[in-house]
């Protein structure tokens, strides 16, 4: 399928689109710390069910009010079901299941892997033109993330729970591959459908899964009270990291190549790690600084070309 952005101006000139992509990643960067705080009081399933439920309640009235403008057809329903399953069920289970085993800073840093997957899938599935400089910049950013995660040039397994951390990291990487499939598939639909339809319908449809899962867990183990901090964290993830962030992401993605937009994902490890250091007291090392510099250079190179 030809790239839907082939007739647009060069991506470096689409200032508003780039600002939307940056905004989305800034909001996502804070979600990992928020999720860690929420998981202190509740389970992964309940947290995700509440997050998606609040998001769906916010989006459903707008979806109903604008249904005549959204070009919703019977042929589109299976595609939306697939998007919901990939982007808001499987991906979230893997991502936050991994987060429960590893650290918020690791997840924020590993998110860079999604840029590699998204760029590769955009080249392969959307037939976007391969740019050598983009490939080099993505590798540069990945090297920066490696330095931040490992905190050294030589791979190492930390003592005390190191194996669980590795399993958690691998689950997160698998989630990133799934998220990349969702992004590329959704981008191909932007030719005929609005970002609002793709985002809101996917979230609302995902409740077909989350509602019975949450009900089953509550009936099995009972309802455990959730503290104020956890509720505020879930509300942040639902409103800012889901509704606002995904709408901004797909609105910006409509005019920016998927492979180039992937570069903005590097904002998440940089800002996410900073928030983890400040709020969760993660350790800052010289390698973290070097890795952060590489990430910034990577984002600059891709956004300019």
Which alpha helices (DSSP H) does 151-266 contain, by range? Answer: 162-189, 195-221, 228-238, 245-253, 258-261
Greater confidence (228 vs 184) lies with 228
Mean pLDDT of the chain: 79
**What pLDDT was estimated at residue 50?**
95
Residues 6+ apart with CB under 8 A from 161: none
Average pLDDT over residues 100-110: 78
- Predicted pLDDT at 112: 65
> What is the average per-residue pLDDT within 17-36?
89
Distance of alpha carbon 267 from the chain centroid: 11
Instruction: Show the beta-strand stretches assigned E in the chain.
Output: none
Lowest-pLDDT choice from 7-16, 87-96, 268-277, 286-295: 7-16
Tell me, what's the pLDDT at 159?
56
Whether 168 shows a pLDDT value over 60: the answer reads: yes
Encoded tokens for 277: 């250091």
Mean of pLDDT values over 156-169: 69
pLDDT on residue 294: 82
Higher-confidence residue of 48 and 6: namely: 48
Token representation of residue 52: 């998606």
Answer whether residue 153 shows pLDDT above 80. Answer: no
Rounded Cα distance between 265 and 244, Å, is 16
pLDDT digits (tens, 9 = 90+) for 195-230: 777 778 888 989 999 999 999 999 998 888 899 999
Predicted confidence at residue 10, as pLDDT, reads 45
CA–CA distance, 113 with 35 (Å, rounded to integer)? 20
Pick from 38-42, 158-162, 178-182 the range whose average pLDDT is largest.
38-42
Q: Calculate mean pLDDT across residues 179-185.
A: 77
Q: How far apart, in whole angstroms, are the C-alpha atoms of residue 106 and residue 285?
A: 14
CB 113 within 8 A of CB 268: no
Tokens of 67: 């249904």
Q: In the chain, what's the furthest Cα-to-Cα distance?
A: 57
**Which is nearest to 265 in space by CA: 150, 50, 113?**
113
For residue 210, give every residue at least 6 positions away whose Cβ sits within 8 Å of its Cβ, in sequence order, or none.
48, 49, 52, 53, 89
Contact 102, 165 (CB under 8 A): yes
**All structural domains of the chain with their residue ranges:** 14-65+79-304
Per-residue pLDDT, 149: 64
pLDDT, tens digit, 9 for 90 and up, residues 237-274: 999 998 899 888 878 877 777 667 766 777 877 788 78
pLDDT at 299: 66
């Amino acid at each position: 399928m030809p790239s839907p952005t082939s007739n647009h101006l060069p991506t470096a000139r689409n200032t508003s689109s780039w600002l939307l992509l940056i905004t989305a990643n800034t909001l996502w960067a804070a979600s990992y710390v928020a999720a860690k705080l929420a998981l202190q009081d509740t389970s992964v399933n309940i947290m995700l069910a509440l997050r998606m439920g609040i998001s769906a309640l916010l989006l459903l009235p707008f979806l109903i009010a604008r249904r005549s403008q959204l070009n919703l057809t019977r042929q589109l329903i299976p595609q939306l079901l697939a998007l919901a399953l990939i982007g808001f069920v499987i991906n979230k289970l893997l991502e936050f299941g991994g987060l429960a085993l590893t650290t918020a800073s690791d997840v924020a840093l590993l998110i860079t892997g999604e840029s590699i997957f998204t760029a590769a899938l955009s080249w392969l599935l959307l037939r976007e033109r391969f740019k050598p400089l983009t490939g080099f910049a993505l590798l540069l950013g990945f090297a920066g993330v490696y330095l931040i995660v490992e905190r050294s040039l030589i791979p190492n397994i930390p003592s005390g729970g190191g194996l669980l951390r590795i399993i958690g990291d691998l689950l997160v990487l698998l989630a990133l591959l799934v998220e990349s499939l969702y992004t590329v598939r959704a981008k191909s639909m932007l030719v005929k459908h609005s970002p609002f339809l793709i985002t809101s319908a996917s979230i609302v449809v995902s409740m077909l899964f989350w509602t019975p899962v949450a009900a089953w867990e509550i009936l099995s183990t009972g309802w455990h009270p959730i503290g104020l901090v956890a509720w505020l964290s879930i509300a942040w993830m639902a409103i800012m990291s889901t509704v606002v962030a995904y709408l901004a992401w797909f609105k910006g993605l409509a005019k920016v190549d998927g492979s180039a937009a992937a570069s903005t994902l590097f904002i998440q490890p940089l800002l996410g790690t900073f928030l983890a250091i400040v709020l969760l007291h993660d350790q800052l090392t010289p390698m973290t600084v070097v890795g952060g510099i590489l990430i910034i250079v990577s984002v600059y190179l891709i956004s300019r070309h």
